[in-house]
Structure 1
Amino acid sequence: MTASSPLQASSAQAPRALDDFLARAAARLSQVPPAPYAADSHATLNGDHALGGHGQVNDKPPRPAAVLVAVVARPEPTVLLTLRSTTLSAHAGQIAFPGGRRDPEDKDEVATALREAREEVGLAASLVRPLGFLDGYLSSTHFWIVPVVGLVQPDYALTLNPAEVQEAFEVPLSFLMTPANHQRQSLMRDGVKRQFYAMPYEGRFIWGVTAGLLRNLYERVYA
């Protein structure tokens, strides 16, 4: 995404909730991607480590990745999420945004996010309008994730790649942006108590990286 791709104002006829989100996004989302990961700034970065209990800093540079934080432009906006395949090597069986590792052929992080969304769930790039970026996120699996927020036309159609995605579904943005729904939970792993955000919704357990990115969306756009 470049400065030549500004957020366009919604029409006066658009629903109030969508208008509110777009206005906030235009004012508060970054129009440039987060800076590349730097180990000396680890303590101040957003990521799985931010709530504590995730061990020492990995000396190796993290693998670059991007995800599409897809907000569907319904009268009451929703967020498009996926349930990852249980056979994947990272974050298997978890709820996630479409996204993945950046390929050398990708022009930028937006290209990565749109390519991954097309490959994973068949979402056409022509139906997505990039709005801006959230803060970079360092995952416990050592990915440096650039979150691209995009507005998705509600008449989209999906074709899931079963090797990567079991299911795609929507969750109301209003639920995800309500702080009372942002639980702080913990688990023991490798003898370390690790803390994370969780946002359980109608039998679905949204947690870890995905919940952390949604919390950052709240902090950047609504807090």
Structure 2
Amino acid sequence: MPSLSASNVTTTGLDAELFEKLARSRLLQDPPIPDGTQSSGDDELNPDAGRHATNLCPAAVLIPIVSRAPLSIVLTERTKHLPAHAGQIAFPGGKVEAHDMTPLATALREAREEIALDDTFIEPLGYLPTYRTGTGFIITPAVALVRPGFKLVADPAEVADIFEVPLQFLMDEANHRIDSRNWRGNERRFYAMPYGERYIWGATAGIIRALYRRLFSA
């Protein structure tokens, strides 16, 4: 097998075995320290907004890569009545609770609660560096392969829909665009990756962009 250098790895023909080797070689194997010092975030496209130095709320999300051909990522659409990020596209995830031993534990718990994804189908691969949001969260993304055969059920209190997007589409930089909108009287720029009727944007798109950079960007 050829070496996994940035110059010779693409998503074309990428199967679960090669993706696992690539991910384990490039992802963090230990949880990153959630202090924001070596993380990416919403403020990268909005330098005038400044960074949250303190009082960031720790959270974690699961990036579930379904290990069938072609590889895909499971995403959710949040219900429209939620107090934060209503109706947006998201990864399974949420706030770190006191009883969660690791960010992975948070991500797995939230995936069970939100979409009934059973742990027995999940093979954790590692972590991305943390991601800061403009709404005051610092998110640890945990990447995992998900074995086919699972059955997903949306928690109607939080999840309006569950769907998959091809990994090849999301890892193609040509599909990463920068959009903007007015927020609290200021223009805010953000990554967006529209896929059909799905408008993937904000922190979710930013984390996808971070995954692309970590695995496929030189």
Q: If the length of structure 1 is used for normalisation, what is the TM-score?
A: 0.87
Which shifted more, 64-73 or 25-34? Answer: 25-34
Give, as a single letter, the amino acid of the residue that structure 2 aligns with 1:23: K
Q: Is residue 54–residue 140 contact of structure 1 (8 Å, CA) maintained in 2?
A: no
Secondary structure of 1:204's aligned partner: coil
Q: Is residue 54–residue 194 contact of structure 1 (8 Å, CA) maintained in 2?
A: no
Give the structure 2 partner of residue 101 of structure 1. Answer: 95
Segments of 5+ residues of structure 2 without an aligned counterpart are 1-12
- Asked if 1:62 is matched to 2:56, the reply is yes
Segments of 5+ residues of structure 1 without an aligned counterpart are 1-14
Within a 5 Å distance, the mapping from 1:171-186 to structure 2 comes to: 171-186=165-180
Secondary structure of 2:15's aligned partner: helix
CA RMSD of aligned residues (A): 1.5
* Aligned residue pairs, count: 205
**TM-superposed deviation, 1:87:** 1.4
CA distance in 1, matches of 2:155, 2:142: 21
**TM-superposed deviation, 1:59:** 5.3
Residues 200 and 143 (structure 1 numbering): CA distance in 2 closer, same or farther, change over 3 Å?
A: same
Residues 147 and 68 (structure 1 numbering): CA distance in 2 closer, same or farther, change over 3 Å?
A: same
Q: Deviations over 1:119-141 (max 9, x none)?
A: 00111111111100011001111
Give the structure 2 partner of residue 51 of structure 1. Answer: 45
- Asked if 1:33 is matched to 2:27, the reply is no
Give the structure 1 partner of residue 181 of structure 2. Answer: 187
Secondary structure of 1:35's aligned partner: coil
Secondary structure of 1:194's aligned partner: strand
Within a 5 Å distance, the mapping from 1:68-79 to structure 2 comes to: 68-79=62-73
Which shifted more, 27-36 or 169-178? Answer: 27-36
Q: Deviations over 1:180-202 (max 9, x none)?
A: 00001111112211111000001
Q: Is residue 123–residue 145 contact of structure 2 (8 Å, CA) maintained in 1?
A: yes
Give the structure 1 partner of residue 112 of structure 2. Answer: 118
Secondary structure of 1:147's aligned partner: strand
- Asked if 1:143 is matched to 2:137, the reply is yes
**TM-superposed deviation, 1:102:** 0.6
Identity %: 46
- After TM superposition, what 4+ stretches of structure 1 lie above 2 angstroms from structure 2? 15-20, 53-60
- Asked if 1:202 is matched to 2:196, the reply is yes
